[in-house]
Amino acid sequence: MNKVLIGVLAGLVLGALDGATAWFTPSARSAMASILVGSSIKGLLVGLVAGFYARKVNSTGKGVTLAAVIGLILAFVVAVMDAQAGEQHYLQIMLPGFITGAMIGFFTQRYGALAKQS
């Protein structure tokens, strides 16, 4: 399995799990479906970038940092959209998004095969 695919799968699964934790916030339960979809797409995007980066750069530290930063940026975008809808959950969305991104970065660096040289 190549690193991009690892990134996409890890992003989808971890993103969905991260989104699922919103269930513990009673006010968010009514929007669980959209949170799950949005969080999965966020994870997928982080995994895609981290996967392509891992194909070029073999460094766990750099890969984890990059994915964490992208996770944080995307989580900030989601938090802004949430705030515009009237709810402010910056901390609740951005902190876990940052850590989830780091985990996706770790998976792409540690697992999966590099692209074949042509």
Partner 1 sequence: MSYLPNRVVERLREVVDLPDLTGTRYRLEREIGRGGMGVVYEVFDAQLERRVALKVLAAPHADSAAAERLLAEARVAAQLEHPGVIPLYDAGTLPDGRVYYTMKLVAGSHLSDYVRAAAPLSGRLRVFQKLCDAVAFAHSRGVVHRDLKPANVMVGPFGEVLVVDWGIGVAGTPRYRAPEQASGGDRPVGPAADVFSLGAILRTLLPADAPRPLRAVADRAMAEDPAERYPDAGSLDREIGRFLDGRAVEAYRESTLERGVRFYRKNQPLLVLLLVYVVIRFVLFFWPRP
Question: Which SS3 state, helix, strand or coil, does residue 113 take?
Answer: strand
Please list every residue from 42 through 101 that binds partner 1, using CB under 8 A: 60, 64, 88, 91-92, 95-96, 99-100
- Which pair of tokens denotes residue 2? 């190549």
Residue 116 CB, nearest approach to partner 1 (Å): 19
Pick the binder of partner 1 from 21, 52, 55, 73 (CB under 8 A): 21
Amino acid at 74: L
Cβ partners under 8 Å of residue 59, min gap 6: 109
Residues of the shown chain interacting with partner 1 in the complex, contacts defined by CB under 8 A: 21, 24, 27, 60, 64, 88, 91-92, 95-96, 99-100, 102-103, 106-107, 110
